[in-house]
């Protein structure tokens, strides 16, 4: 239940989302404190934001947070403070619904989705699983690798994920045996964090990493579901496509950089091109976790901190824009799988089970190699008592019958 995560949403969080309910049949902009989902439009109507900006009531009645995310950081800060003051002054009465009584929706309209691969541990682990050697491609030391993902398949936490059909090598380890068609046999998750763009970056602007926070509205958790067999068969030379585009799940609450600021931690110092250089390079101390529920039994399969990342989100935004590409409000920029060095810190099953060769033992003693139909995958992210992401969850549904 959503209400399990009340402790993530204290007065120092003030996340943003979009919700509907019996009282609010049309999705609208909301925040959350403990288990109360609060209508920002109602707060605006009550005058809580008077003097902060024009038209906030209209902005908060929209079905997406894009118009709000596009406003200045100064306005975001004033809105946050006004909500905190209203809470302290007991002025939120009549503006909220219990979280179990609302339906959450995608918080923004996402015009483009870019998925980076910013963890050196993940890259090394995957290389070891696939080739037996821990190889990091030389370009990884110069810039963060990335591919463009699919926007129409981004779903809100709680949406079931259907096992895809597709082409794959009959034998994953012996491509020469040929290509077959059928349901995905190697279904995986990828534990990621994503930035939602606030203020846009105009084409040909070429952002420096050190200035990139100005354009990040906030962060969400991302599950980049991956059909490994389909992905491996298709990705040379154009990259992943059907192996990824059947589903990507995001958590419903956007956690702002203001809420995250107290949990900053230094990022690796890198010797890089000037526009990627960031004298105060930093990550956030986010305790990320993955739990898999199979046959009603929940097992913790990963605990890893976001501070293990090699490339920062700031650097990802800088690399993204250096060729002249713009970023629009609502764009999703994901970090790629977050993995540490330890055996309990693997952000995907390919790493955890060494390509399925070394099963993980679930709480009930059964083996986990890859995802089976019915499995529920739940990501969580917590910074400290009162500041967290809640959950990013999806259950695997069986593949459709062959057409």
Of 161 and 290, which CB lies nearer to its own copies in the complex structure? Answer: 161
**Cα–Cα dist 29/18, whole Å:** 5
DSSP state letter for 193: E
Q: Is 274 exposed, middle or buried (0-12, 13-18, 19+ CB in 10 A)?
A: exposed
Residue 98 bears catalytic tag: no
Choose the catalytic residue: 122, 215, 320, 346: 122
Q: How many helices (H) and strands (E) does the chain have?
A: 9, 26
- Sites for its own copies among residues 265-304 (CB under 8 A): 273-275
Give strand pairing partners of 102.
21
Q: DSSP for 4-67?
A: GGGGGB-TTT--BEEEEESS--S-EEEEEETTEEEEHHHHHHTTTTTTT-TTHHHHHHSSSSHH
Report whether 257 contacts 401 (CB < 8 A).
no
Region from 24-32, 91-99, 325-333, 350-358 binding its own copies, contact rule CB under 8 A: 325-333
Q: Could you tell me the smallest distance in angstroms from the CB atom of residue 147 to its own copies?
A: 4
Asked whether position 215 contacts its own copies by CB under 8 A, the answer is: no
Asked whether position 55 contacts its own copies by CB under 8 A, the answer is: no
Asked whether position 324 contacts its own copies by CB under 8 A, the answer is: yes
Q: DSSP for 66-105?
A: HHHHTS-HHHHHHHHHHHHHHHHTT--TTSEEEGGGEEEE
Asked whether position 151 contacts its own copies by CB under 8 A, the answer is: yes
Asked whether position 140 contacts its own copies by CB under 8 A, the answer is: no
Q: Could you tell me the smallest distance in angstroms from the CB atom of residue 326 to its own copies?
A: 5
Of 1 and 139, which CB lies nearer to its own copies in the complex structure? Answer: 139
Compute φ and ψ for 78, nearest 5 degrees: -70, -35
Region from 164-172, 299-307, 354-362, 378-386 binding its own copies, contact rule CB under 8 A: 164-172
Active site residues: 122
Residues that bind its own copies in the complex, under the rule CB under 8 A = 111-112, 114, 117, 137-139, 142-143, 145-153, 162, 164-167, 175, 178-179, 181, 184, 203-204, 206, 208, 227, 230, 233-243, 245-247, 273-275, 319-320, 322-328, 331, 400, 403
């Amino acid at each position: 239940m959503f209400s399990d995560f009340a402790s993530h949403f204290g007065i120092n969080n003030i996340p943003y989302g979009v919700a509907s309910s019996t009282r609010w049949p049309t999705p609208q902009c909301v925040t959350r404190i403990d288990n109360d989902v609060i209508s920002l439009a109602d707060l605006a109507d009550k005058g809580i934001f008077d003097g902060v900006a024009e038209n906030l009531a209209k902005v908060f009645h929209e079905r997406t947070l894009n118009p709000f995310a596009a406003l200045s950081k100064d306005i975001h800060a004033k809105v946050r403070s006004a909500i905190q003051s209203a809470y302290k002054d007991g002025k939120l009465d009549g503006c909220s619904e219990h979280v179990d009584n609302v339906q959450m929706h995608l918080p923004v309209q996402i015009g483009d989705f870019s998925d980076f691969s910013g963890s050196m541990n993940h890259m090394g682990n995957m290389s070891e699983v696939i080739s037996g050697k821990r190889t990091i491609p030389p370009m990884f030391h110069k810039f963060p690798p990335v591919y463009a993902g699919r926007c129409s398949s981004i779903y809100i936490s709680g949406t079931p994920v259907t096992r895809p059909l597709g082409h794959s090598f009959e034998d994953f380890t012996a491509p020469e045996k040929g290509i077959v068609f059928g349901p995905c046999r190697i279904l995986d998750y990828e534990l990621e964090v994503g930035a939602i763009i606030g203020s846009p970056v105009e084409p040909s602007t070429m952002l420096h990493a050190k200035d990139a926070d100005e354009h990040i509205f906030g962060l969400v958790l991302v599950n980049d579901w991956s059909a490994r067999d389909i992905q491996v068969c298709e990705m040379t030379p154009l990259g992943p496509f059907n192996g990824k585009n059947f589903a990507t799940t995001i958590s419903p609450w956007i956690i702002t950089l203001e809420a995250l600021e107290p949990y900053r931690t230094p990022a690796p110092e890198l010797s890089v091109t000037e526009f990627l250089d960031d004298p105060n390079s930093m990550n956030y101390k986010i305790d990320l976790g993955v739990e898999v529920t199979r046959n009603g039994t929940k097992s913790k399969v990963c605990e890893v901190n976001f501070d293990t990342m090699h490339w920062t989100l700031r650097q990802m935004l800088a690399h993204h824009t250096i060729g002249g590409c713009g970023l629009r409000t609502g764009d999703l920029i994901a970090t790629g799988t977050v993995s540490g060095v330890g055996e309990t810190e693997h952000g995907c099953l390919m790493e955890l089970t060494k390509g399925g060769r070394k099963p993980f033992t679930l709480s009930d003693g059964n083996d986990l190699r890859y995802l089976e139909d019915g499995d529920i995958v739940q990501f969580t992210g917590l910074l400290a008592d009162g500041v967290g992401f809640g959950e990013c969850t999806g259950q695997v549904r069986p593949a459709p019958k062959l057409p």
